[in-house]
Amino acid sequence: MASESNKAGATSKIPVDSARAFFFEDFPRTLFPLETNRVLIEHGEAEVRSYIAKCLDENEQAYGFAPQKRVFISKPHGYLRRTVKLDVVAEFYLYDIVFRNRSKFRKPHVSYRSHYGYRFENGSPIAATQAYRAFKGGLAAYGAQYAHSRSMDVATYFNSLYHHDIVSWFRDRNVSMEDAEGLGQLLREIAAGRSVDCLPQGLYPTKMIGNDFLRFVEEYHDLQSNQVIRFMDDIVLFADDEQAISDDFQTIQRLIGDKGLSLNSRKSRLDEHVRELIDTSIDAIKQKLLQRRRIQITTGYAEDGSEIVKQAMLKKPLDAEEMKYIDNILGQPDIEEDDAELLLTIMRGHASKLEKRLPDIIDYYPHLAKNVYSFCSDFKNKELLAEILLDLTRKNNRLPESQLFWFCAILADELMDSKLASTLISVLFNHRSATVITKAKILEIPDLRYGLQELRNEHLVNGQSDWLGWASAVGSRVLKAASRNHRLRYWAKASNMNHLVTTIVEKI
């Protein structure tokens, strides 16, 4: 039998004993991790909580959760996934309300009707990478055990969830009336009253909501398949009786249809596990490299939330045979996507070998931008890295928002001391594809060089109350207190949110 995600070893190694700890533990793995929110929670959790209480108080008519900024994440083949980037108030409330109700997200009732991951176990959130590995283990184990299978996933799942259904599901978990109404208010107001596409993506608490919401599928009493497993919206049926799978396939479509959901017709596969079991196209050396990748990804996380990926590499360096295999990949005119992702993970200790091909990987696979960001921490030649980034940014008149965001993150964390730092700031900030969120990533950099403070002042002097203003205020924390606070106190008068940010930054 496949091991379940709730078995020992599947949870984060870092104790998560508060909403604050939950927020910091998840922060580096979110889709658009802006330091602005992290700094505000680090130094002003009490002030943020007080602001949230006013948002939830019907007598405080001047307060409420604000509509949020739409963002787009790159997917393979040029597709985009839409969601929102939450301000610090909305974001922290999500972590807080889910953390306080974490016991309501329970493990599967029976092993033959299972879902994996996205809940707390032994005091910590189950690591998504380990839960997915358990899911893949289930695919292999049940695929070998049963003659037939059918895989499917829900089309645009998060974007299709209906506000009333989420709130009703949460209320049915026996949470307090205040929390049920609070979540409903949050989702309604951040979506500006829209009934669908109201659940943000890329945050562990919303993944917990999305994962648990669908448990009605595998728990339905009339399913006939011997085994049903699910990872978020990926559902797989296993049975020896092909008719049972066919019947369940119809039943599941009717079930989710009652929630306004439907299956993705392009991703439904019959007996896919059989093809996977007999696929021998991946040779032994690549299998070893893939195993290395899994080891590195699931090593764990440090206390500051950063991924621990280097230790495993240092303990077991790549051997000559593996390096020769990698050289062959690097010598190919076109590097396949799975090879590119593999290289960005396992070559962090040999970053110089990727120097010539890194521009191709960045250019061909924009959805791997976060992988590129992680890889660049080991890129020793920062001047060359700056040149690569500058050339690619100038060459491409259009860049996906998420890729441009991670370019800005590379600048902030790796290239501020490079000779091209000033030029990169100008090119990235003024790029045709620059958005409020990518610009905020630059404005929040705590540095006084290259005219950054003058850039921030442009947004502070007019009382701007959005990501550009908040990031500018947080980036200004490096100024002397007297100079900083004088300007911020005038900026604070423009809105309640500006006042909240100012109150926190003044304490730093």
240-259 pLDDT, tens digit per residue, is 999 999 999 999 999 999 99
Cα 313 to Cα 348: distance, rounded to the nearest angstrom = 8
HEC profile of 256-315: HHCCCCCECHHHCEECHHHHHHHCCCCCHHHHHHHHHHHHHHCCCECCCCCECCHHHHHH
- Give pLDDT, residue 355: 87
Give the DSSP letter of residue 476.
G
- Give pLDDT, residue 363: 94
Cα 284 to Cα 98: distance, rounded to the nearest angstrom = 43
Q: Is 452 exposed, middle or buried (0-12, 13-18, 19+ CB in 10 A)?
A: buried
Torsion of CA 201, 205, 206, 211, to 10 degrees: 120
> pTM for this one?
0.89
Helices H / strands E in the chain, number of each = 25, 9
- Give pLDDT, residue 22: 98
How far CA 216 is from CA of 106, 158, 164, 235, in Å, comes to 13, 16, 16, 12
Q: How confident is the model at residue 329 (pLDDT cuts 50, 70, 90)?
A: confident
Query: Pairing state of beta strands 113-115 and 227-231?
Result: parallel
Q: What is the residue whose two structure tokens read 């296993």?
A: 238
Cα 113 to Cα 217: distance, rounded to the nearest angstrom = 9
Query: For residue 97, which amino acid is it?
Result: I
Q: How far is CA 77 from the centre of its chain?
A: 19
How far CA 445 is from CA of 153, 440, 462, 476, in Å, comes to 40, 9, 20, 9
- Give pLDDT, residue 378: 87
CB 124 within 8 A of CB 157: no
158-185 pLDDT, tens digit per residue, is 999 999 999 999 999 999 999 999 999 9
Cβ-proximal residues to 466 (8 Å cutoff; 6+ apart), any chain:
69, 436
CB 383 within 8 A of CB 418: yes
Cα 65 to Cα 186: distance, rounded to the nearest angstrom = 6
Does the pLDDT value for residue 481 go beyond 90? yes
Q: What is the residue whose two structure tokens read 């493990």?
A: 107
Show the tokens assigned to 223: 């399913």
For residue 393, the SS3 value is helix
Does the pLDDT value for residue 307 go beyond 70? no
Cα 255 to Cα 235: distance, rounded to the nearest angstrom = 13
64-74 pLDDT, tens digit per residue, is 999 999 999 99
Around Cβ 355, how many Cβ atoms within 10 Å? Answer: 14
Q: Mean pLDDT across the chain, nearest whole number? A: 89
Query: For residue 500, which amino acid is it?
Result: L
- Give pLDDT, residue 293: 55
Q: Parse the chain into domains and list their residue ranges.
A: 19-278, 284-505
For residue 85, the SS3 value is strand
**Mean pLDDT calculated for residue range 267-294:** 60
* Bridge partners of residue 434, in order along the sequence: none
Give the DSSP letter of residue 154.
B
Cα 244 to Cα 228: distance, rounded to the nearest angstrom = 12
